[in-house]
Every structure is written in C-alpha cells, then in structure tokens.
Chain A
C-alpha cells in the first residue's frame, strides 16, 4: 500500500474471491455478503438456507441446520453420539489436545466433528454423516473415522444408501498416525459397500481437503458439490509454498473439479435435497423399511 491509497467510491465483485477462504455463518442483525457486498438481513439469509438473497453466494451453514435442511422432519435417529476422542499421543501444541477438545465441545456444542444419523430423505431411508466444520475444522481423527465406518457398516447391513456431507480440512494432526489410518479404515468399509452395490453419495461442501478428500469423499458413486466449494488433496497454501507459482483463478473449486472430471454435478444448496432424492430414486433404493 502506498501512503495515499486511492479513494474507493464504489466497489463490487472482486475478481478472485478472497472471502471464500473463510466462509462464516451469518450472525448479527445484518450480514454483509462478501461477494456482492450487499447488506442483508441475517434472518432472511437464514431463511434462505444461508444463501445470499441477492447474488446466491453460499455462506457457511451450521451443521445442525444442514441436517435439518436435508433429512425429513421427524425421521432422525442420531448414532454414536457418545463416541468421544481421547488423547492417545499426549499431544500438546499451544494447548493440550485434551483441553482443546473440551473447549471446542463448549464453543461448538458438539461432541465431535461428525454427526451420524439414520433417517429419511423424501421418504427414502438412508444412513448419513455430516461433518461439523465448526469442530476443529471438521478434522478426522479416530472418532470421526470410527463413526463413518460404523455408518457404512450399518448401511451395508440395512442395504440403505450411505451419504457423507464432507466439510473438513483433513486428518487431525493431534492424533498422528491414528488419524492417517482412518483413511484406510473408512475406504475399506467403502469397498464392502461397493461390492454389495449399496449406493454411496459423496456431497462435497466447502472446504473438503486432505485426508478426507483423499479417502471416502472421492469414492462415491456420485460426487455432488455445492457451488465454489474448495475441494482438493493439498491445500492451496501448501501448493503455493511448494511450487512457488500463482495458482490459476478458480483453482480447486467445484467448477474446476467438474471440468477436470472429478465432480458429477454442482448443485445449489436449495436444490440439494431434491437432487439427492432423485439420484436415490434412480438407483432404486427400496422405500422406507420397517426398521426405521
């Protein structure tokens, strides 16, 4: 910046959306859209599934709201809610991992970074997992890996589709190698689902990277992404630090993955439930069973 920055009279749509890196859940009375810069009534945005009423920008969405937006009302049974992390390595960075877990539980109101439910989507029985990005960046440690594996195993046993709504920075470093092995564990469970021809739907939300991208999230029968979600193996900063080049605009966004053949379809949030239901109907999932 020079000493005399030019006066900005009017500003709109910046070229390369910096606001996408940190997408926050709308809060307060007014919310300013980082894309179109419109001042929006937060209540209106919430009613619109946290999508900008002016330009369609997708804000982050609280995971419980996400669950409610997808699953049929009154159909939910939450599973494995009390599988809890321990601190197997005695890990400590700026604070002890065990303390970090405690404080994150308080601030997020969740026990871990994944909510596993059995329920229905337009009356079709499913087993679904929702990553809680609010909980340590949705990182996958032993608990998340275990809950996903159990979810896949339940789906196999009940022969109902398995859905994962991914939003995660990747493996949880605080659990070291145990986190890495969750990639293998969950992918092994996917292998069994595939063999049994149980539908696997991977819904890729902003952001899905690292070990969560490089395992079950990329192993769906279908990959459905929200618009402009960041999806990739390595984070953009890691890539930039490795190759010392500027990254092309739109790099690792949903649209980029679709162009390169790794995402089947990009679906705006408001149409997500209907699209999932359509795919499930096409796959020939049996209608509601008596078991749920």
Chain B
C-alpha cells in the first residue's frame, strides 16, 4: 500500500470509493487484531491485491460526474499542499495595494528546484472556519488584482510564474460586482497574454470558468488526471440548459470537462497522473508527478526569448476554437 495521509483518512468517502475503502478497512483490522500467522499474512496480501484491482477497475471507467466529485473531494490536496511540497522557501505575499487581501487567492515567491518562481493559486479551505475565510476558493476582484500585481512584479524581475487553478468560479456577490469582478478577470487575461516570462498553469482540482481562467492564460496548461475545467459548473449548466439542477451529471458529460476531453479538444498540453485512487490518497506522490511535469515544461520555456515566448503564447490561444468557413474549410 502506498503511504496514506492522515487527513485523507478522515475525509468523507465518495460512493464509488466505498468498496475499496471498506476492503482496506478490513485489511487494517486484520493487521491490527491478529497475530500475523503465515496464512493470515497471505490472506492480507490477497486482499490487498484485490483492493488494488478493484480500485483500478473502478477508476478505469469513471464517469465525468464522478471525476467532478473527485476534483471537489474534500480530502483533495489544495494549492498550498502542493506549494509546501514542491516550492522551497515559499513566502506568501498579501494584498492588491488597492483594497484588500483576498485569502481565496494566494500568491508568493519561492524556489522550484532552485529556480526563483512566483507561485499563485486559488485556495479552498478545509475546516469550516478556513472555508469561510477563504470563501471556498472563490476570489473577489482584489484576489485577481493581487495576482496581477504579483505577476507584474515577476515580469519585471524576469521570473517564471506557476499558477494552480482550483476554484468553483469567481465569487458572484454584490461586493464583487461593485468592485468590478468582470473588469478584474478581463484585465488579467490581457496582462497575462503579454507577460514576457514563462507561465505554466496547472488545473489541480476545479477549473471553474472565468474565475479559473483569470490566472490561467499560460504557455503550458496542465491538468491533473481527475481535475475538471469548464465554462460553467455542471449545476449551472443543468439549471440553465436542462432546466433542472438534478441533471448535473448529464451536464458534466455534455460539457466535455475532464482532462482527457480537454486534451482531445487541443486545449491542454499534458495530463499529470494522480496517485492511484486520486490525489487525496497520496499527496506526496501526486506532488512529485506535478513537479516532474513542471520541471520538463520549465526547461522548455526558460531558454526562449521574451518576444518569442509572447508570440508563441498568442498563437497558442489564436488557434483555439472550432468553426467552418464557407466553402467547407474546417479549422
């Protein structure tokens, strides 16, 4: 068995995880209660193989909605869980210098394998208190403006930027609208398109629409295996197009929001494998996989001169879209 994290054990178990988790509980019981004779040891090994196979079986045919549930799993590692594992000397910086500090968006400086980087990401909360403080990772304009301020600083010092996307969406509230949520998101899109430093965006959980994209315009876009990325939440899509919240699973499938879907649509550059059974089952392993992908892409991007970098980034987004021209020319 891979080592499991303390927190992950306490996290609620999803329906489709239950068979595996129950089997693992049995194994744990056996390990604890019995003096381990050879026969019982063999039995444990059998059960462990069985649990692994069962997990593989279940995870090889997950529905889009099940992936949405994994992407939102309460035990799932959040931005700071990855930052603490792959960024050394991370120092969080606060505030947009305009209005406030938004705890839903974290940003700071540190070193990725010796390379000075700026790291940004939405941060959900784990406890009720933290969820409240972090607004469940739904940033307000000040969050996006903090991100912009820090990115601008990174650009001036020529430092690459790593963004971790994990949000249900930009916060839809009265205060957010008063302070120009639409303008804050829009400005980041424009600024990121023109930054002269490498940007890598990784969707680590929920890539929720414009609120995710606002720190997601990048030279490379990565997605963790069970993360999702969409133009609207399945719930939102269901209530608008299917006229019923209950049809969210259907909406999740229709919108093609899983990592393989986005790879097929040519939007993302790489799918980063998660620990067997999902990132929440092994933070360390998943973080190592993410680091490996970041290392490779940074190595590609760091030698590029700023003008070429900007040009390639423009072309990357320029190609996104699907349409036909009269005469049947597909693009």
Contacts and interface: CB of A to CB of B under 8 A. Distances in A.
Interface of A: 82-86, 88-89, 91-94, 141-143, 145-146, 149, 171-185, 187-188, 190-192, 194-195, 209-211, 213-219, 231-234, 238-239, 242-243, 245, 247-248, 251-252, 260-262
Contacts of B187: 218-219
Contacts of A209: 182
A184 B257 contact: no
Nearest to B169: A234
A182 B189 contact: no
B177 interface: yes
B36 to A, nearest CB: 51
Nearest to A235: B172
Given A187-B193, A188-B189, A84 B231 contact: no
Given A232-B177, A242-B173, A211 B323 contact: no
A94 B142 CA distance: 39
Contacts of B213: 180-181, 183-184
A177 B267 contact: yes
Nearest to A172: B231
A176 B229 CA distance: 9
A233 B172 contact: yes
Nearest to A194: B190
A185 B261 CA distance: 20
A175 B322 contact: yes
Interface of B: 170-174, 176-183, 185-187, 189-191, 193-194, 209-210, 213-214, 216-217, 229-232, 236-237, 240-243, 254-257, 261-262, 265, 267, 313-314, 317-318, 320-327, 330-331
Given A218-B182, A233-B172, A178 B321 contact: yes
Given A217-B182, A239-B174, A177 B323 contact: no
B266 to A, nearest CB: 9
Contacts of B181: 214, 232-234
A91 B254 contact: yes
Contacts of A183: 186, 189, 210, 213
A92 B318 CA distance: 27
B323 A142 contact: yes
Contacts of A173: 231-232, 237, 240-241, 255
A219 B173 contact: no
Contacts of B326: 82-84
Contacts of B173: 234, 239, 242-243
6 A-B pairs with least C-beta separation: A82-B326, A234-B172, A142-B321, A188-B193, A187-B189, A88-B322
Contact of B210 (A178, A233, A248): A233
Contacts of A231: 182
Contact of B330 (A86, A93, A182): A86
Contact of A89 (B182, B240, B241, B255): B255
B177 A213 contact: no
Given A188-B313, A239-B174, A215 B189 contact: yes
A233 B185 contact: yes
28 contacts: A82-B325, A83-B325, A88-B265, A89-B255, A91-B254, A149-B318, A171-B209, A172-B231, A173-B241, A176-B231, A177-B231, A178-B322, A179-B231, A181-B317, A184-B193, A184-B217, A185-B318, A185-B320, A188-B313, A188-B317, A191-B193, A211-B210, A214-B181, A216-B186, A217-B182, A231-B182, A233-B182, A248-B174
B314 A232 contact: no
Contacts of B261: 177
A242 B232 contact: no
Most buried by B among A173, A183, A214, A243: A214
Given A177-B265, A233-B176, A218 B324 contact: no
Nearest to B267: A177
